[in-house]
Amino acid sequence: MPAIDFGLDRLLKEAQLRKPLLGRRIALVAHPASVSADLTHALDALAALPDLRMSAAFGPQHGLRGDKQDNMVESPDFVDPEHGIPVFSLYGDVRRPTPAMIDSFDVLLIDLQDLGCRIYTFITTLRYLLEAAAEHGKEVWILDRPNPAGRPLEGLLLRPGWESFVGAGPLPMRHGLTMGELASWFIATLDLDVDCTVIAMHGWAPAAAPGYGWPGGQRSWINPSPNAPNVSMARCYAGTVLLEGTTLSEGRGTTRPLELFGAPDIDAGQLLRTMNALAPDWLLGCRLRACWFEPTFHKHAGRLCQGIQIHVDDVHYQHAWFRPWRLQSLAFKALRQVQPDYPLWRDFAYEYEHQRLAIDLINGSPLLREWVDDPAATPADLDALTRADEDAWEDARKAFLLY
């Protein structure tokens, strides 16, 4: 496997790349996984360069350096104790940078490890920052990183009017782009007049086994958010994130969050059998195991749950066949069949949205929920609707692929 350099690594090693930054005030957007090849945090590594002047930093959801465990747990602004620069929260009093925040820099470096899923809020933060930079005439550099879920795409496109903090635009759930590629897509589709430079990776091979997006064996995995502990979670996330809109546990409060799901009042064995009967092709590429777990916090805390774990970390994993969004959708459909009155959809404020159901916000429309709840709707119906969206996205994203 060829050696890989992320965008940050290249900026640190190649002085020629840094020349346009000399004498300018630089701000960094980063989180705990924003580290160099030697595991130095991006802010510390960049501040150590004598030719760069760091003037501010920004933290997205879960914070610049800290780990806020759950959604809707805000981070405050503070002054970095080591570097003496302001650190502004983009998940506190504001989601978009204020004019005062924008005034703190000339060039904004964005170095965020993504998971390759539309719901992940770092994508929305990227959009908001690009829009703010265009409005205020600021320059943006994207320090690109791998999409650990690789190039496969899956899911319905977000419908017009369903944009939210967990839905930045008409993307499918699993989009198959890097942050640098997404930035170019946002600029084109939103018609933004912004000076944006992508520092591309060297050596990223998204089709290469065994990582299929993540350079396992070369780079340590660091949680980009507290419940993203490994590559298996990143592979499953485009499906298991749907669980956040349901009463089923997604495994928060266990050691395998977003790789398993369940509840105290379901029959996991019956659910698996029903899923296999309804759409066995939707379960390819992984292994499913009925299991028991007891969350220590979050949904069903302290209660023994029956559930299913999705295994994508052995020789049975087939990257091109694994379709987590369909798999999880099928689990909901099967539960509706075996327990028609199950209170599946969770009605609560999700990412500060009080009017629309969380499952609809997550999917970017009510289409999936309506399919699950319609006894006459078949897997073939959802597949036909989704394939049209996936084919459209396959064509739309071609112009933005860098690797």
pLDDT tens, residue by residue, 147-156: 999 999 999 9
Q: What pLDDT shows up at residue 355?
A: 85
Mean pLDDT of 219-248: 97
In degrees, to the nearest 5, what angle opens at C-alpha 95 toward C-alphas 92 and 98? 95
Confidence label for 78 from pLDDT (cuts 50, 70 and 90): confident
Q: Would residue 234 be called left, alpha or beta, if left means φ above 0 and alpha means ψ between -120 and 50 degrees?
A: alpha
Mean pLDDT of 279-303: 97
Q: What pLDDT shows up at residue 349?
A: 80
Cβ atoms 145, 176 nearer than 8 A: no
- pLDDT of 74 above 70: no
Average pLDDT, the chain: 95
First-to-last CA distance in the chain? Answer: 15
Q: What pLDDT shows up at residue 49?
A: 97
- What is the architecture of the domain spanning 7-225+396-400? 3-Layer(aba) Sandwich (3.40)
- pLDDT of 354 above 80: no
Confidence label for 29 from pLDDT (cuts 50, 70 and 90): very high
- Give the pLDDT confidence of 154-190 residue by residue, as tens digits: 999 999 999 999 999 999 999 999 999 999 999 999 9
Q: What pLDDT shows up at residue 386?
A: 98
- Give the pLDDT confidence of 312-352 residue by residue, as tens digits: 999 999 999 999 999 999 999 999 999 999 999 998 888 77
Q: What pLDDT shows up at residue 298?
A: 92
Confidence label for 1 from pLDDT (cuts 50, 70 and 90): low
Could you tell me what percent of the chain has a pLDDT over 90? 90
- Where in the sequence of the chain do the CATH 3.40.50.12170 domains occur? 7-225+396-400
Cβ atoms 312, 286 nearer than 8 A: yes
Which residue's structure tokens are 């760091």? 54
**pLDDT greater at residue 155 or residue 216:** 155
Mean pLDDT of 387-401: 98
Q: What pLDDT shows up at residue 348?
A: 82
CB neighbour class for 312 (10 Å; exposed up to 12, middle 13-18, buried from 19): buried
- CA 177 – CA 153 distance, rounded (Å): 9
- Exposure pattern of 87-102 as b/e (b: 16+ CB <10 Å)? bbbbbeeebebeeebb
- pLDDT of 71 above 80: no
Mean pLDDT of 91-100: 92
Confidence label for 68 from pLDDT (cuts 50, 70 and 90): low
Radius of gyration over alpha carbons of the chain, in Å? 21
Q: What pLDDT shows up at residue 353?
A: 76
Mean pLDDT of 257-281: 98
Q: What pLDDT shows up at residue 286?
A: 98
- pLDDT of 70 above 60: no
Dihedral sign from CA coordinates of 116, 95, 77, 69:
negative
- pLDDT of 67 above 90: no
Pick the CATH number of 231-388 from 3.30.70.20, 3.90.1150.140, 3.40.50.300, 3.50.50.60: 3.90.1150.140
Q: What pLDDT shows up at residue 30?
A: 97
- pLDDT of 391 above 60: yes
In single-letter form, the type of residue at position 39 comes to L
